[in-house]
Structure 1
C-alpha cells in the first residue's frame, strides 16, 4: 500500500523568494517591524564564487538600523589592509595611477555618515545575514526550496514550491510575494513584467584564486583593487577578496562558453596579471553575462520585485547590491503599513514610483564607468621598461585623472543623493529642494523633501539617523515652547486617528538645526524627508493622509 504525504502548508504575511543580500535585507527590515515572513531559496547557501565585495555606506546605515552593521565590520577584513585603487601594467609591475583611501583603521571619519562603506565579500556577508535571520527549523529561511509557480487573488498569493532535498511539495499562502530571485527572475517573467535591455550584453570571466604570499610580496604596493592595463582581456580589476590570500580576477570574454577565449587557461591568465612568481591556486571560475535592465514596473498586484529581479546593472561603481538594499528599505515599511491597516491605497504603488527612477539613474551611472574602462586607449608603450614607456605611463596617468576615475570608487552622490519625487513627498516651495534627481549635493547640507534625512551627531555614538525607523519622526528645532501646543497636539491627533505611528523629538543644537534647514521636519520610517516647514501644518490631517498614500 502506498501512502500519500500531505503537502506542507505555510501561512505568512510576506513570502520572500531568494536569500541573496537584498532578500535578506528585506527580511531584516520586516523583522525590525514585527512582520511575519518566510524566505524560500533554491540554493544550499554555499557561496562558491563571491560577486559582491563592498557594502556601500547607505547600506551600512540601514544595517546599523537593523542591528548588524557591527557584525559586518567584524566579519574578517583586516583593518590594516590598503583600500587604495591602483592602475598597473601588472600587479607588482609598473604603477600608473593610484587613488589613496587609507585603511579601515586609518581613514578619517566622514562628516555625512556614521557608517562608511565596509569590505565584506559575499562569502562572508551571505552566511552572516542567514545566521541573523535564522535558518529553518529555528528561523524563517528555508534553503533548497524552489518556488515553482504562484497564483494571485484579491486577498493574497498562493505559491507552490518543492523541497529539493526531499522532493516534498509545499504550498505557501501569503498576503504579498516579493521576488528577490535574481537577474533572470522566473517570478518576474511569470508576473508578465518585461525588463528590456538598455545596453549591449557583455560576457566576462571571474577567476577566483589563492595567492598566500602575494600581500607580503607587494608590501607598500598593495591595494584593494589593482586595475590592469594589458589589452585586450586584462583591462579589468584584480581584487583582494579577504585581505589575506583570496583574489578575484575579472577578464573580458568576447564570446559564449565554449569559445577559445573562454577556454584559455585560467592559471596562465592569472600569471600574466602578476609581474613576479608567487604560489597560485585556482579556486573556481565563473562566466557571467552583464545585462543592463530595469523592469517596466516593480509591482504586479500582490507581487513585487526587488534587487536584481527589478534591475541589473554593471558592477562598475558597486551600485548594484546597494541599490537593491535601498529597495528593501523603501518596500519594508510600506508592506508593514499595509499589513497594519494604516496605509492609503497609493502607498504600495509609490514603491515603483520612487525606486524605479533611482535604479535607472544608477544603471546609467554604472554604465558610464564601464564604458570609460572599455573605451580607454592603452598604447603598447606603457608596458616598456624605457623612457618611452615612462612617458606613455605618465600620459595615461593624466588621462585617468582627467577622466574622473575617482568617481567610480568614491560616489557619495549616487549612494546618498537620490530624492524621491512621489505623491508621498510634500515640497516646500524651494525649487532647488523640490527638483527630482541628484541635485547639487544638497543632501550633505539640507534636509530636502524626498531626500535622505542628513546625519549629524547628537551625542557620542548617537546619530540623527538613529531616531528614524519604527515610524514617522517629527523633528522640531524651534525654541517656542511646544511649538505651539495646540498645533503639535493637532498633528499628533491626526496621525493617531489614522493609526500612523509618529514620534517627536525636540532638538536645540544649532548646528543640527542649520543642517535640517526648517524649524519642523517630518521624516519617514525609511529615513527620507516627507515634509518640512517653518510652521506646523494648518491641516495636519491632510499631511497625514499625504505621507501614508491616502491622497
Structure 2
C-alpha cells in the first residue's frame, strides 16, 4: 500500500510486556501483525520485577526462557520475604525461599518464576519481536483513533518522529495500552472500581553498599513496620544495588517527605544512596465489563488492573494474550469457528476477577496489620512484641503472597470450547494440585531429561494418548477435514498416564485441556467442531 497507508491482520496498540508477549505468540503462529508504541520503548522506572512461572512456561515455548534467566539476577541472592522494623533493624519474620541457585524446583512446572525487572525484560522482548524496518514494532507511533467496519478496523496513527499521520487497516485491533486505555474509553466500556483507589509513591534508588552491609540479612522483599505510610515493601530490583521503596500516600506529613529522607528512614544505618526516580501512581481494582467489542479486544491492564501484591498483574495479562493469540490465528487461518473469538472474554474475565481478589487479600493483610510501637524497643518487652507479631504473621497466612500456584496455574476455563467430563474442582482452591480435567492447564511431567510434556503443546491441538484405539484414523481425519491442526503423541509412561487420568486427552494450542475420555468418540466430527466453536 502507499507509504502513509498500511495493512495487517492484527494491530496491537501498546508495547508493554503484555503487548510484546501477544506479538511473540502471533509471530510464533506466523500471523501478520503490527505493533505501535507511543514511547521510544525505554524503561527508566521499572514497575514489573518478577516473571511468574506460567509466564516462564510460555517464554520457554517461544525459546527465550533461558535468556530471561540470564539477564542478570545473581544466583546467590536470597529470594526471601522478610518483615522488619526497618531494613537493618529488628527482623520479625522471614519466609525462606532460597536463592535461584539453591531453591527447590516445584514438581508441577519446568520453569519456576524468575526475577527480571522491566528494564531488563523490555529490551529482550523488543529484540525478539523486532523493530521496524526489520520487524513489526513501530516505536513513537501513537494511536489517535479508529473505526470499525464489518471486515476490518481502520486506525489513524501519528508517527511522532516525523509528525505525519498514517492509516492502518487491520482485520483486528488488540488494545494493550494500559490502565488508562484510550481504546477502552473510545469503546465506552466501563471498568467499575471494585475497591477504593489508593495512591502510592515508588522511589527507585541505588544503594551500592547495602547488600554487603546487610550480609545474611539480605532478602528480595523487606516489609517495613515503621508507620502507616512505610508499611509496604522495599524490594531489591537487580540483586546488586538497585532498590524500590513503596510509600503509601495516606495524608500523613511523612508520606509527602522528600524521597531521600524516606529512604533514609527505611534503612537504619548510613549507606550511600542515590535517588533515581520518584513516581506517584494510583492503585485501582478494575475488571472491564467487556473484553471484546466487535473486532477490538482488550488485554492486560486495558482489561483489568489489580494490586501488585503477589505479582499477578503482568502474568494474568500474559495468559490472556496467549488465550487470544491462538484464537486469532485460528480465525485468520479459517479453521476457527464463528464463536471462537467470543470465548476469549468468557475464559479470561473470570480469571482476571479471581486474580484481583487474591491480590486484594494480600494487600489487605498489609493494610490491616497493626503496628504496635513496642516492636521497636530493644528490651524484653520489645522481644515479646516482636514474637507476638511473628505469630500473627504466621496465622495471617503471609506465606500465601509468595506461594500461590492456584492463581498462576489453578484457573479452569468453562466455555463452549471445553467439553466437561463431570470432574469437580477442589473444594478449597488452596488445595490446588495439577489436573488434566477439561479447562485446566495440561500438567507438566518430564518425558525425558530436559523435555516436558508442556513442550508438546503450542502449535495446534495435541492428542496425548496412553492407549491404542481403532478410532485413531477417523479422529485425525475429522480434524484434517476441517483444517484444524492436530498432532498425536503416544506416551507409555505409567506415571504420566496416572497424572492425566484418562487414556485420551486433547490439549488446545494454549496448553489447556479441551477434552479427555476413556475412548476416542465414534463420531469425532462433533468434537472437532465444538473445540473450534463452529
TM-score (norm 1): 0.95
Computed over aligned residues only, the root mean square deviation of the Cα atoms, in angstroms, reads: 1.3
For 1:540-551, list aligned pairs within 5 A: 540-550=524-534
For 1:214-229, list aligned pairs within 5 A: 214-229=210-225
Q: 2:456 is matched with which residue: 464, 467, 480?
A: 467
Instruction: Look up the SS of the partner of 2:366 in the other structure.
Output: helix
Q: Show the counterpart of 1:71.
A: 67
Superposed displacement of residue 149, structure 1:
0.2
Aligned length: 533
Q: 1:248 is matched with which residue: 229, 232, 244?
A: 244
For the 8 Å contact 1:477–1:520, the answer to whether it is kept is: yes
Q: Show the counterpart of 1:83.
A: 79
Superposed displacement of residue 538, structure 1:
2.0
1: CA distance, partners of 2:84 / 2:253? 26
2: CA distance, partners of 1:77 / 1:7? 43
For the 8 Å contact 1:205–1:287, the answer to whether it is kept is: yes
Deviations 1:467-522 (A, max 9, x none): 000000001101x4xx12xx111111110111000000000000000000000000
2: CA distance, partners of 1:265 / 1:428? 59
For 1:243-322, list aligned pairs within 5 A: 243-254=239-250, 263-322=256-315
For the 8 Å contact 2:156–2:167, the answer to whether it is kept is: yes
1:396 pairs with 2:389: yes
Deviations 1:85-123 (A, max 9, x none): 000011111000000000001112210000000000001
Superposed displacement of residue 441, structure 1:
4.2
Superposed displacement of residue 428, structure 1:
1.1
Q: Show the counterpart of 1:3.
A: none
Deviations 1:3-46 (A, max 9, x none): xxx86211111000000000000000000000011000011111
Q: Show the counterpart of 2:443.
A: 454
For the 8 Å contact 2:443–2:500, the answer to whether it is kept is: yes
Instruction: Look up the SS of the partner of 1:206 in the other structure.
Output: strand
2: CA distance, partners of 1:308 / 1:129? 18
CA 1:531–1:440: 2 relative to 1, 3 Å: farther
For 1:518-533, list aligned pairs within 5 A: 518-533=502-517
Instruction: Look up the SS of the partner of 1:97 in the other structure.
Output: strand
Deviations 1:49-71 (A, max 9, x none): 11000000000001100111111
For the 8 Å contact 1:295–1:310, the answer to whether it is kept is: yes
Give the unaligned 5+ runs of structure 2.
Answer: none
Q: Show the counterpart of 1:99.
A: 95
2: CA distance, partners of 1:375 / 1:521? 45
For 1:12-23, list aligned pairs within 5 A: 12-23=8-19
1: CA distance, partners of 2:60 / 2:19? 17
Instruction: Look up the SS of the partner of 1:353 in the other structure.
Output: helix
For 1:382-461, list aligned pairs within 5 A: 382-430=375-423, 432-433=424-425, 439=429, 441=431, 443-444=433-434, 446-461=435-450
Q: Show the counterpart of 2:31.
A: 35
Q: 1:356 is matched with which residue: 326, 349, 353?
A: 349
Superposed displacement of residue 254, structure 1:
2.2
1:493 pairs with 2:489: no
Q: Show the counterpart of 2:56.
A: 60
2: CA distance, partners of 1:95 / 1:260? 26
2: CA distance, partners of 1:372 / 1:521? 40
Superposed displacement of residue 260, structure 1:
5.5
Deviations 1:300-322 (A, max 9, x none): 00000000000000000100000
Deviations 1:125-177 (A, max 9, x none): 01110011111111111111110000000111000010112101111011000
Deviations 1:218-277 (A, max 9, x none): 00000011110111211000000010000000010025xxx9655411111001100111
Q: Show the counterpart of 1:11.
A: 7
CA 1:440–1:21: 2 relative to 1, 3 Å: same
Which consecutive aligned stretches of 4+ in structure 1 deviate over 6 angstroms post-superposition? none
For 1:189-200, list aligned pairs within 5 A: 189-200=185-196
TM-score (norm 2): 0.98
Instruction: Look up the SS of the partner of 1:346 in the other structure.
Output: coil
For the 8 Å contact 1:317–1:369, the answer to whether it is kept is: yes
CA 1:496–1:442: 2 relative to 1, 3 Å: farther
For the 8 Å contact 1:417–1:438, the answer to whether it is kept is: no
For 1:475-490, list aligned pairs within 5 A: 475-478=464-467, 480=468, 483-484=469-470, 487-490=471-474
2: CA distance, partners of 1:378 / 1:262? 17
For the 8 Å contact 2:18–2:317, the answer to whether it is kept is: yes
For the 8 Å contact 1:443–1:452, the answer to whether it is kept is: no
For the 8 Å contact 1:144–1:163, the answer to whether it is kept is: yes
Superposed displacement of residue 438, structure 1:
7.6
2: CA distance, partners of 1:301 / 1:522? 30
1:24 pairs with 2:8: no
Instruction: Look up the SS of the partner of 1:178 in the other structure.
Output: strand
1: CA distance, partners of 2:428 / 2:380? 44
Bigger drift between 461-470 and 246-255 goes to: 246-255
Instruction: Look up the SS of the partner of 1:190 in the other structure.
Output: helix
Instruction: Look up the SS of the partner of 1:10 in the other structure.
Output: strand
Instruction: Look up the SS of the partner of 1:147 in the other structure.
Output: strand
Q: 2:124 is matched with which residue: 106, 121, 128?
A: 128
1:504 pairs with 2:476: no
CA 1:252–1:331: 2 relative to 1, 3 Å: same
